Amino acid sequence: MEVLECPLLSVNVRVWRFWSFVLVHNWRRYVSIIPVTVLNVFMFADLYRAWGNIEEVIINAYFAVLYFNAVVSDAAKPPIFDYAQCLRTLILVYQRQKYEVFLANAANVYQEIRQIKDDDVIGKLVEDYTRRARILSISNLALGAFISGCFVVYPLFTGQRSLPYGMFIPGVSNFESPQYEIFYIMQLVLTFPGCCMYIPYTSFFATSTLFGLVQIKTLQHQLRMFRSTGSNLGRRTPSLDRQLTKFIEDHKRIIRYVQDLNGLVTYICLIEFLSFGLMLCALLFLLNIISVMAQIVIVGAYIFMILTQIFAFYWHSNEVREESMAIATAAYSGPWLEVDNSIKKKLLLITMRAQRPLELTVGNVYPMTLEMFQSLLNASYSYFTLLRRVYN
């Protein structure tokens, strides 16, 4: 199956393909990456210029980190802040062959699972997770476009000249005509490719972990059904041997899948762990010192975006970890005492390997679990209280 025909993965891949980040190579890649990267540089320059004005620095730093993460994530390995969008894109483009191989293999496995016949449970499982992945990807794009649109039009209602994203060009006045109109239109136009560079990577992570869950739950179900079949067949048969050998190969394939996915996303997760933890602390502090309702709403939206972004990563990673260990329970269930010793040994191997959880990690160091997510929130809040006490 071609990856563009795989309904579970195709939404995000089609966006990437349109901008020629993967599968094709044309002018759209440079039209999107180069202007956004240049804008990101000017945003960091503005941070340096505004240093000392804490409200302006925090807001502009949020967008600087966001764009940095988006650009660098699609092509190279990490530097830090509006560089978020840049980061994601650069890593994606730089490692596009690895991503293409990963996506192609995933599409083939998806087709293999979908072709399993005479099993309504697996068919419903694939259908439910495919629908969930597509809804997640489409809703992320829609929500990202809506919130980005709100950010862009917000300056029009402030009663004074301001740009959606702070930027500083030495020797140029941003707020005099016609520079102001040119810069505003430029940022308005670049918001769309910036959104397409950032949002699909988040959805790619989520849908890839969902497909990992499809593979894990399929293996769990087959092991349970194998047990019931084995109890009817009694002792060792060539059919039992073939089935169990296939299950062991499927388990090894799942292990490779999670390891490959971790290799693609682990350093992006490290950058987001560091940058968004700091920005969450800073935005909470900003929320504590501002009094204008419009600013409170905007900062609240920023905090909501950060929390949903990080929670999506850690929730799905935690699900993969927990379900991978449940394979041992599935292998152990049923009347396995009645089968041949060679079958028991193979089941024991599956059970022992499944007790080592499959994990997605932050920088190949810490597993991405809900406990880790809670620790991140606790650390951000602790630094926030310390910062507030020092400021007061």
Q: For 329-357, how does the pLDDT look when each residue is reduced to its tens digit (9 = 90+)?
A: 988 875 567 777 777 888 888 889 999 99
Lowest mean pLDDT among 33-37, 47-51, 182-186, 376-380: 47-51
Of 62, 49, 102, 135, which Cα lies nearest the Cα of 260? Answer: 102
Q: pLDDT by residue (tens digit) across 19-52?
A: 898 888 888 888 888 888 888 788 777 767 766 5
* Plot region of 292 (φ>0 → left; ψ -120 to 50 → alpha; else → beta): beta
Rank 287-291, 322-326, 343-347 by mean pLDDT and report only the highest: 322-326
SS3 103: helix
Q: Compute the distance between CA of residue 103 and CA of residue 109 in angstroms, rounded to an integer.
A: 10
More confident residue, 247 or 81: 247
Say yes or no to pLDDT of 133 above 50: yes
Q: pLDDT by residue (tens digit) across 218-231?
A: 999 988 887 555 44
Q: Compute the distance between CA of residue 278 and CA of residue 76 in angstroms, rounded to an integer.
A: 22
Which pTM does this prediction carry? 0.85
Specify whether the CB–CB gap between 327 and 354 falls below 8 A: yes
Domain tally for the chain?
A: 1
Say yes or no to pLDDT of 74 above 70: no
Average of per-residue pLDDT values in the chain:
81
Q: Which residues, in sequence order, are CB contacts of 28 under 8 Å at separation 6+? A: 18, 19, 20
pLDDT bracket for residue 82 (50, 70, 90): very low
Say yes or no to pLDDT of 149 above 60: yes
pLDDT bracket for residue 240 (50, 70, 90): confident
Say yes or no to pLDDT of 103 above 90: yes
Domain that holds residue 279: 3-391
> What value does the mean pLDDT take over residues 318-324?
95
pLDDT bracket for residue 75 (50, 70, 90): very low
Q: State the pLDDT at residue 81.
A: 36
Of 93, 89, 48, which Cα lies nearest the Cα of 66? Answer: 89
pLDDT bracket for residue 8 (50, 70, 90): very high
Q: Compute the distance between CA of residue 334 and CA of residue 221 in angstroms, rounded to an integer.
A: 12
For residue 392, give the amino acid letter: N
Q: State the pLDDT at residue 235.
A: 52
SS3 367: strand
Secondary element (H or E) of residue 361: strand 361-362
Q: Compute the distance between CA of residue 109 and CA of residue 101 in angstroms, rounded to an integer.
A: 12
Say yes or no to pLDDT of 325 above 90: yes
Return the HEC string of 320-351.
HHHHHHHHHHHHHCCCHHHCCHHHHHHHHHHH
Q: State the pLDDT at residue 198.
A: 78
> What value does the mean pLDDT take over residues 251-275?
90
Q: Compute the distance between CA of residue 322 and CA of residue 107 in angstroms, rounded to an integer.
A: 24
Lowest mean pLDDT among 4-18, 81-95, 187-201: 81-95
Q: State the pLDDT at residue 226.
A: 72
Say yes or no to pLDDT of 263 above 90: yes
